[in-house]
Amino acid sequence: MTGTRLDIDPQQAGRDLAALVLTVVELLRQLMERQALRRLDLGDLGDLDDGQEEAIGTTLMLLDRRMDELCAQHGLRREDLNLDLGPLGTLLPDGD
């Protein structure tokens, strides 16, 4: 097509890229959290002692807090990270 021009706003492109990266990080964070909780419920944390279990919980809480900070830094909300996958629903569960 001749004469067609694509105008890209660099600031919006940067925000969109940050949203995509944070979406992937949030998905991984939620998966790690669910896996840890599932294994804790099943008593399947291997040979971890109580201190190590507590460290995992603390780390997951700190990651959650850091996600809030990163979203705020980039002008995003957690809801902005959830992708609509059409008939499959959303990428991230509601409420997380």
What are the pLDDT digits (tens) for 37-82? 888 888 877 777 888 888 988 999 999 999 999 999 999 999 999 8
Rounded to two decimals, the pTM is 0.76
pLDDT category at 96 given cuts 50, 70, 90 is very low
From the list 86, 54, 53, 70, the residue with the least C-alpha distance to 19 is 70
Contacts of 96 (CB under 8 A, 6+ apart): 30, 78
